[in-house]
Amino acid sequence: MEQQPIVARCMVEILGAPKEFIAKSLQEHVDKIKKDGLDIQIEKYAEPVPADKLFTQFVELQIAFKDTGELLDFCFDSMPSTVEIMSPEKMELDMAAFEDFVNDLQGRLHQTDMMLKGLQAQKQVLDKNAINILHNFIKFVCKTPQSLEELSKFVGIKSDALSTYVNNLVEKGELKKEGQLFVRNG
């Protein structure tokens, strides 16, 4: 028995700037979906709207998917904000097809989890390196005595936020405080 298509209404959103860029990017994404062979029956674009300093835009797509695997692929690739199944009203899946669907879902979730863990590890390394660079820059500037306000102007970080880093360097003995001035130790 041939499976009838799964027809779904999906909302795909984009956030970014400038307004023209997000409109073009969303159109290119839909063009790629078509090129990949999905049967898009309806596409309705909303106008981009401001969202803080960025813009957001969405497209409503009605797509006929060959099977649950194609629907799942679309969901992972396009990350729609909503998916409304229009038809069929009921589906019958044999256990092997359902098992394949669940295993594919699990595989993608594990892949996403591994990517996220890798990005978190990279972020930790980048954060540590950024703090080391900041510390080195503070120590370089403090070859001559500097007030927190002067350091703030050099470094480009507000005094209240910078004080944590400067005090950390004082605690480590890499800077010393002389009155209201900070100077490199040694």
pLDDT at res. 31: 96
Q: How does DSSP classify residue 48?
A: P
For residue 169, what pLDDT band results from cuts at 50, 70 and 90? very high
Q: Which residues is 64 bridged to in the sheet?
A: 7, 39
Domains of the chain as residue ranges with CATH: 6-87 (3.30.70), 130-184 (1.10.10.10)
**By percentage, how much of the chain surpasses pLDDT 70?**
99
Is residue 62 pLDDT above 90, yes or no?
A: yes
pLDDT at res. 101: 81
pLDDT at res. 184: 93
pLDDT at res. 104: 86
pLDDT at res. 52: 87
pTM: 0.64
Average pLDDT over residues 137-162: 94
**Spatial CB neighbours of 48, under 8 Å, sequence gap ≥ 6:** 19, 22, 23, 55, 56, 57
Is residue 87 pLDDT above 60, yes or no?
A: yes
Residue reference for tokens 């497209």: 59
Q: Map residue 18 onto helix, strand or coil.
A: coil
| C-alpha span between 81 and 98 (Å, rounded) | 24
Arithmetic mean of pLDDT over the chain: 92
Encode 77-112: b = buried (16+ Cβ within 10 Å), e = exposed. Answer: ebebeeeeeeeeeeeeeeeeeeeebeeeeeeeeeee
**Spatial CB neighbours of 173, under 8 Å, sequence gap ≥ 6:** 185
Which own/partner contact pairs does 144-150 have at CB distance under 8 Å and 24+ positions apart?
A: 144/183, 145/178, 145/181, 145/182, 145/183, 146/181, 146/182, 146/183, 147/180, 147/181, 147/182, 148/180, 148/182
Query: What H or E segment, with its residue span, contains residue 57?
Result: strand 54-65
For residue 73, what pLDDT band results from cuts at 50, 70 and 90? confident
Determine how many CB atoms are found less than 10 A away from the CB of residue 170: 14
Query: What H or E segment, with its residue span, contains residue 101?
Result: helix 95-141
For residue 1, what pLDDT band results from cuts at 50, 70 and 90? low
Average pLDDT over residues 153-181: 94
